[in-house]
Amino acid sequence: MAYGAEVVQLGEDVVGDIAQRHGAIGLIRLVADIAVRVPLEYLSEMRRDMRYAMRALIKSPGFALVGIISMGLGMGLTTNLFSSKWQSIFRELPAAANAERLVMPEKPVSYYSIEQYRDQKSLFSGVAAFQTGVPFNVTFQDNGNDKPQRVFGQLVSADYFSVLGVPSQIGRVLGAELDKSGDAPVVVISDRFWRNRLNSSPDVVGQTLRLNGQPATIVGVTPKGFNGALSINPAELFVPVTAPPALAPELANDVLHQRNAREFFAMMCLAPHVALESAEAALDAITRRLDEQDRFAPVRSDKDNGRRVTLLSAGTMVPLPRNVKSALIGFFVVLMGLIMTIACMNLANMLLARGANRRKELAVRLSIGASRFRLVRQMISEGILLSLLGGVAGFALAYGLSILRSKFTLPTAVPVEPESTLDWHAAIFVFALAIVGGVGFSLVPALRATKADLAPALKEGSALQLPGYRRFGLRNLLIVVQVAVSLMLLLITGFLVMGFNVVSSVQTKFDPHTMYLLSIDPARDGYAPDKAQALFERIPDQLKTAGTVRSVALAAQAPFSLEDEDEAKQWTAQESPGAPAVQQPVIREWVGAGYFAALSEPLLAGREFVELDQRDLDHPRLDQRNQPDGSKSLPVVLNESAARGFFGNGSAIGKPVRDDQRSYEVVGVVGDLKNGVGISQSLIYLPLTQRNFARPPADGMTIMVRSDVGTDVLSAIRHQIAVLDPNLNIFNVRTLSDHLELSRSFQRFAITTYSGIGLFGLVLAAIGLAGVTGYAVALRRKEIGIRMALGARKGQVLLLMLREATALVSAGTVLGFLGAFALAKILSRLTSIFVDALKVGTDDPRLLIGAPLLLAALALLACYVPARRAAKIDPMNALRQE
Amino acid sequence: MKKTDPQEFIPLKTQWFHIMLSLAGGEQHGYGIMQEVLTRTEGKVRLWPATLYGTIKRLIEAELIEESDVRPAPELDDARRRYYRLTPLGKRALSAECERLQELVRIIQKQVMVTQ
């Protein structure tokens, strides 16, 4: 407001008078008058600025377009990051009233321990037990003879909902007083299940579903948006742990009373005024006491002397340990800041060049009385307008990315659903970002452009007194950094892309199109354990009668699947009682007879499993060690890496290996099957046992059927299985080739993301370089005129202008190379996923030469456009300046 | 777009009228306008500072008043103050408004006499 100073002055003048006449109320009115009127005045002036800014942008569409793209890219990526990561870290569980006080131990514990925790009334106002990612085969009563659908849910203790603070939307949720052991089975369904599978039927309460073949009555529906705790694996059904084992095989073997069955997560609601740290310390003490009482507790080595319990705050979508959380926050803030800084810096550079060209307009306005503040405000308005337009583009980009991501599903057994909705939070975020960014990139150029010596600027032809050009100025430094960072991104991306392409190719020894993978889960079709085993024993023979079937094998997991390293267990090999024991972490896979033959994988030594291995030797309670000195040990097959790790170059056949429970005998060694991540993990193959048959994993028991090339056996396979049992639910049907494709979609997704980031960096760097060159051209207009008048050719002028840019690009390239190699080293230390990919990628000459060439070409192109303007300068015009 | 016919400003907003009336006697600064309005209306109309200057700004935009470069004698002058005066357009608009109000008063008086 033009009268700001006078308003203040007048206010000072009248304040005494007003106090005298009107008292305190008058003073309040005085303050209110100023507080309300002044901003309103500013806003109305701002509107005019905006109109003017719009006209200025329309007049230079090229600049506007580049600005909008640049800001749009920056804000789109930042918003995408914000909505996908930030929100999944910070958004509280929907509908959970106690979200802020929820904590949970990192590792699953036994139900018995949870009951002990529950007694700590001074620490916790409630402790619930739950298992997540539990599959159910659901049959809808109304649908008559329809095939069951596989739906994922949670097994929860009756107080689960009261601990979370989740009410019901319809009917009731589970309750400790209402749901007791021995009651008729009940189930609470999620809002999503109700809408998608029951068509939001209003009289849903009291309806009966068949879960795993057993009837269960629907008693309630959870609120909208609630998908259970740990909702990254959304749950649609909530079944109380009081349900009979026939309904939920997870509850078999009296698991609620087995003190060593560590299969439940504890969800705890802290009592008021109890800090997470003190609860963790108290819980640690309790757990130590429980471990001492438990003769089956794993023997702790010395390094386990630290905390045995780590509490996570569990009221968010993804529970995270505190230190990880703060590190993640820092990482995302820095990343978002970096992206925005790069985008803003580029625009600032362009505005500097533009300010130099608008010098005269500004000088005229200053000399006829516009205040400097007024001009700065005008230029900042232009920045904000540009930034807001960029924000619209950015929001569109983020929206596109979120749609892209929602189409992409991770190949996991239990569905994973990242929270990625773009809602009003994100819109506000973009808006704030645009305002901050707009001011950020236009403030410095505006201040510089308006700090003018008026006399020369007003002269015709304008011998511009531009701020001095510094070779090592902040601006040039930024460009070098930008080129370096983009090259780093490009190289790292390239390393990963090429590396992944090489290592993720799984070489099967046969055509992967000829192998079908199907899953069944008879335990969830109502099979008792012994009946399930009988069924599995009959399947291979039955399927082999289907014409062109060559071989059939069973496995508890699909071949070439990506195993989580966290699943690795310590196994020990000791060749003779006196010899030193060798320990190494190994990943276990359970496979049936003829597995390696079906994969055409010859054994390097020994034999593979036969049907006899999966019979009689096992005991349903084997894993509970009711058989301390089993007369015969279970056979295992090692892969090459595991065999070498345990026995060096010696023979492994016949040697004993053991886990923390019992001893096994090595009967065979097989080559490392590349699983597509490219890491040679140590693997131990165990024979399928009754335990596997009675309780298949979340993605069911996999049947692998290999046929001859060019024959379609799928319908024959389905027919043969129907002969055994027409009601058996067959799911996850795909060829091995489809499976491999799917299991690598993670890498493909990563590659797309990295490529996108690399491209983003490249575009921004190019814009930045164009800005610098444009500025240099404006600065040396007169010099160019003189050179051309003295006979310099256009090409020579062009080269002169490009020389500056070339120096910057070269410096950036060198730094970028060094940075990329350093980063590759750090990355491969951080996570083993990258190790092999980076090893392959860093040796590829195409990338080492191609990336800098591409960057240099793009950078020079970006410089060429403004430099060409220099060559077009009319020497007469440029010289007629003074 | 600029209005040049004084009739287009009629009726004047109350605050506009008070400010312009204060300037009818000659140049005046913001504080002076405020005091004059206050005394003339016997304390009934107070123009609060930001409101006053907001109105002044709009009056200048409408070209009814302008900043004056005639300053009082140095010993009476405060260098920080800006002085304002009516433009010819402003004078015409003010007198048109005064006529309208007088007309209004006449009508009311006539009406009162009739009813009595």
The reported pLDDT for the residue numbered A746 is 67
B51 CB neighbours in chain A (<8 A) are: 33, 37
For residue A255, give the DSSP letter: G
Mean pLDDT calculated for residue range A235-249: 87
Q: Do B49 and A29 touch (CB under 8 A)?
A: no
d(CA A822, CA A842): 11
B-chain residue closest to A28, CA distance = B48
Does A29 lie at the interface with B, CB-CB under 8 angstroms? Answer: yes
B-chain residue closest to A17, CA distance = B35
Write out pLDDT tens, residues A102-158.
888 888 888 888 888 888 888 899 999 998 888 888 888 665 566 778 888 999 999
Share of chain B above pLDDT 90, in %: 23
A-chain residue closest to B79, CA distance = A6
d(CA A340, CA A390): 12
* A10, A36, A41 ranked by CB distance to B30: nearest: A10
Q: Do B48 and A29 touch (CB under 8 A)?
A: yes
B43 CB neighbours in chain A (<8 A) are: 21
The reported pLDDT for the residue numbered A472 is 55
User: Which tokens sit at A576?
Assistant: 């003779």
d(CA A625, CA A376): 79
A41 CB neighbours in chain B (<8 A) are: 50, 54, 57
**In the predicted structure, residue A876 carries a pLDDT above the cut 80:** no
Chain pair A-B, CB pairs under 8 angstroms? 50
Residues in CB range of A397: below 8 A, 6 or more apart: A72, A73, A75, A76, A77, A79, A80
* B34, B50, B81 ranked by CB distance to A37: nearest: B50
E strand or H helix at A814, and its extent? helix A794-830
B/e letters for A186-212, b = 16+ CB within 10 Å, e = fewer, are: bbbbbbbbbeebbeeeeebbebebbbb
The reported pLDDT for the residue numbered A219 is 92
Q: Do B82 and A38 touch (CB under 8 A)?
A: no
Q: Do A9 and B80 touch (CB under 8 A)?
A: yes
Q: Closest by alpha carbon to A694, among A375, A253, A285? A: A253
Does A3 lie at the interface with B, CB-CB under 8 angstroms? Answer: yes
User: Which tokens sit at A533?
Assistant: 């085993």
Mean pLDDT calculated for residue range A94-101: 84
* B30, B48, B81 ranked by CB distance to A30: nearest: B48
Least confident of A146-150, A319-323, A351-355: A319-323
Q: How many CA atoms lie within 13 A of A447 on its CB side?
A: 6
DSSP output for A97-123: TTGGGEEEESS-B-HHHHHHHHT-TTT
The reported pLDDT for the residue numbered A154 is 92
Please count the residues of chain B: 116
d(CA A880, CA A777): 18
* Beta strand extents in A546-680 (DSSP E only): 549-555, 569-573, 582-591, 603-606, 634-639, 656-658, 663-670
B/e letters for A98-118, b = 16+ CB within 10 Å, e = fewer, are: bbebbbbbeebbbbbbbebbb
Task: Using the structure block, give the residue that is written with the tokens 């095989």.
Answer: A249
The Cα of B66 is separated from the nearest Cα of chain A by a number of Å equal to: 14
Write out pLDDT tens, residues A588-613.
888 888 888 888 888 888 888 887 77
d(CA A730, CA A179): 33
B34 CB neighbours in chain A (<8 A) are: 10, 14
Q: Do B53 and A34 touch (CB under 8 A)?
A: no
What is the SS3 assignment for A137? strand
d(CA A654, CA A637): 10
Write out pLDDT tens, residues A716-747.
888 888 888 887 888 888 888 888 877 777 66
Does A14 lie at the interface with B, CB-CB under 8 angstroms? Answer: yes
B49 CB neighbours in chain A (<8 A) are: 7, 10-11, 14, 30, 33-34
* B46, B49, B80 ranked by CB distance to A7: nearest: B49
Mean pLDDT calculated for residue range B10-30: 88
Share of chain A above pLDDT 90, in %: 4
* Distances in whole angstroms, Cα of residue A155 to Cα of each of A136, A172, A249, A319, A358: 11, 17, 11, 19, 69
Confidence tier at A67 by pLDDT (50, 70, 90): confident
A2 CB neighbours in chain B (<8 A) are: 57
Looking at per-residue confidence, does A766 or A564 come out higher?
A766
A18 CB neighbours in chain B (<8 A) are: 46
Write out pLDDT tens, residues A154-205.
999 999 999 999 999 988 888 888 887 778 889 999 998 998 888 888 888 8
Least confident of A442-446, A526-530, A558-562: A558-562
The Cα of B53 is separated from the nearest Cα of chain A by a number of Å equal to: 7
**In the predicted structure, residue A505 carries a pLDDT above the cut 80:** no
Q: What are phi and psi of A2, to 5 degrees?
A: -70, -20
Q: Which of A450-464, A863-877, B82-96 is most confident?
A: B82-96
Which residues on neighbouring strands pair with residue A311, listed in sequence order? A105
**In the predicted structure, residue B94 carries a pLDDT above the cut 50:** yes
Q: Closest by alpha carbon to A258, among A361, A114, A389? A: A114
Q: Do A37 and B56 touch (CB under 8 A)?
A: no
Write out pLDDT tens, residues B39-52.
888 888 888 888 88
Q: Do A2 and B57 touch (CB under 8 A)?
A: yes
Looking at per-residue confidence, does A409 or A97 come out higher?
A97
Residue ranges per structural domain of chain A: 1-53, 60-91+323-467, 99-298+308-315, 470-504+744-882, 512-743
* A420: amino acid identity, one letter: S
Looking at every residue in chain A, the average pLDDT score rounds to: 78
Looking at per-residue confidence, does A759 or A152 come out higher?
A152
* B99: amino acid identity, one letter: E
Q: What is the Rg, in whole angstroms, of the alpha carbon atoms belonging to chain A?
A: 35
* A2, A7, A9 ranked by CB distance to B50: nearest: A7
d(CA B34, CA A430): 45
Q: Do A30 and B49 touch (CB under 8 A)?
A: yes
What domains are there in chain B, each with its CATH number? Answer: 10-115 (1.10.10.10)
Kind of pairing, strands A208-211 and A515-520? Answer: unpaired
| CB distance A363 to A459 below 8 Å | no
E strand or H helix at B19, and its extent? helix B14-23
Write out pLDDT tens, residues A414-429.
666 655 566 677 778 7
Q: Closest by alpha carbon to B50, among A47, A44, A45, A3? A: A3
Q: Do A33 and B51 touch (CB under 8 A)?
A: yes
Q: How many CA atoms lie within 13 A of A75 on its CB side?
A: 32
d(CA A356, CA A362): 10
Confidence tier at A220 by pLDDT (50, 70, 90): very high
B/e letters for A781-798, b = 16+ CB within 10 Å, e = fewer, are: bbebbebbeeebeeeebb
Q: What is the Rg, in whole angstroms, of the alpha carbon atoms belonging to chain B?
A: 16
Neighbours of A36 (CB within 10 A): 13
User: Which tokens sit at A47?
Assistant: 């509107």
What is the SS3 assignment for A744? coil
B50 CB neighbours in chain A (<8 A) are: 7, 33-34, 36-38, 41
What is the SS3 assignment for A319? coil
**In the predicted structure, residue A26 carries a pLDDT above the cut 50:** yes
The reported pLDDT for the residue numbered A413 is 59
d(CA A443, CA A441): 6
d(CA A851, CA A846): 8
| CB distance A838 to A501 below 8 Å | no
Looking at per-residue confidence, does A598 or A362 come out higher?
A598
User: Which tokens sit at A84?
Assistant: 């996908």
d(CA A292, CA A286): 10
Looking at per-residue confidence, does A306 or A232 come out higher?
A232
Angle of CA points A193, A199, A200, to nearest 5°? 75
Q: Do A10 and B43 touch (CB under 8 A)?
A: no
DSSP output for A210-240: EETTEEEEEEEEPPTT---SSTTS---EEEE
E strand or H helix at A856, and its extent? helix A845-871
Mean pLDDT calculated for residue range A318-331: 72
Quote the crossing angle between the two packed helices A359-367 and A424-450, to the nearest 10°: 70
Task: Using the structure block, give the residue that is written with the tokens 């045995």.
Answer: A308
Confidence tier at A618 by pLDDT (50, 70, 90): very low
Region of residue A228 (left: phi > 0; alpha: psi -120 to 50; beta: else) = left
Least confident of A558-567, A612-621, B37-46: A612-621
B47 CB neighbours in chain A (<8 A) are: none
User: Which tokens sit at A268?
Assistant: 């705890």
**In the predicted structure, residue A881 carries a pLDDT above the cut 60:** no
Does A21 lie at the interface with B, CB-CB under 8 angstroms? Answer: yes
CA A185 centroid distance within chain: 37
**In the predicted structure, residue A616 carries a pLDDT above the cut 60:** no
Please count the residues of chain A: 882
Angle of CA points A751, A754, A755, to nearest 5°? 80
d(CA A41, CA A46): 9
Q: Do A9 and B82 touch (CB under 8 A)?
A: no
Looking at per-residue confidence, does A833 or A25 come out higher?
A25
d(CA A213, CA A531): 15
User: Which tokens sit at A318?
Assistant: 């993804």
B/e letters for A571-604, b = 16+ CB within 10 Å, e = fewer, are: bebbeeeeeeeeebebbbbbbbbbbbebbebebe
d(CA A790, CA A752): 52
The reported pLDDT for the residue numbered A622 is 41
Looking at per-residue confidence, does A838 or A218 come out higher?
A218
d(CA A499, CA A505): 10
The Cα of A51 is separated from the nearest Cα of chain B by a number of Å equal to: 17
Write out pLDDT tens, residues A781-813.
777 778 888 888 888 888 877 777 788 888 888
The reported pLDDT for the residue numbered A221 is 93
B80 CB neighbours in chain A (<8 A) are: 5-6, 9
CA B88 centroid distance within chain: 13
Kind of pairing, strands A634-639 and A569-573? Answer: unpaired
Does A37 lie at the interface with B, CB-CB under 8 angstroms? Answer: yes
* B10: amino acid identity, one letter: I
* A809: amino acid identity, one letter: V
* A5, A13, A38 ranked by CB distance to B50: nearest: A38
Q: Which residues of B sit within 8 Å Cβ distance of A?
A: 30-31, 34, 43, 46, 48-54, 56-57, 80-82
